[in-house]
Amino acid sequence: MASQKRPKEHLKVQKVVKQRDGYKCEICGQVTQNAHGHHVIPFSEDGPADLKNMMTLCPDCHKAYHKGDLHVDIWRF
């Protein structure tokens, strides 16, 4: 995961996307209060902080994504 500090706007949108999705992982369907707001276009690549560029992932799927073990078809969103 990128180590850059996120602006407050990004943190707010990450919270909103998790609430929008009911804290349900878009990949495996797990519902957890520990869900992460994930940028589809990475923050490190100037991905915007908006609801169209965010999805909810559980910690395991988020970790697998950043390790390269999980691929997200961004055209699906």
Tokens of 1: 């995961």
For the chain, what is the mean pLDDT? 88
Phi, psi of 36 (to 5 degrees): -115, 145
Q: Are 77 and 20 in contact (CB under 8 A)?
A: no
pLDDT surpassing 70 at residue 70: yes
Confidence of residue 72 (pLDDT cuts 50, 70, 90): confident
Mean pLDDT for the stretch of residues 45-67 = 93
pLDDT surpassing 50 at residue 51: yes
Largest CA distance in the chain: 29
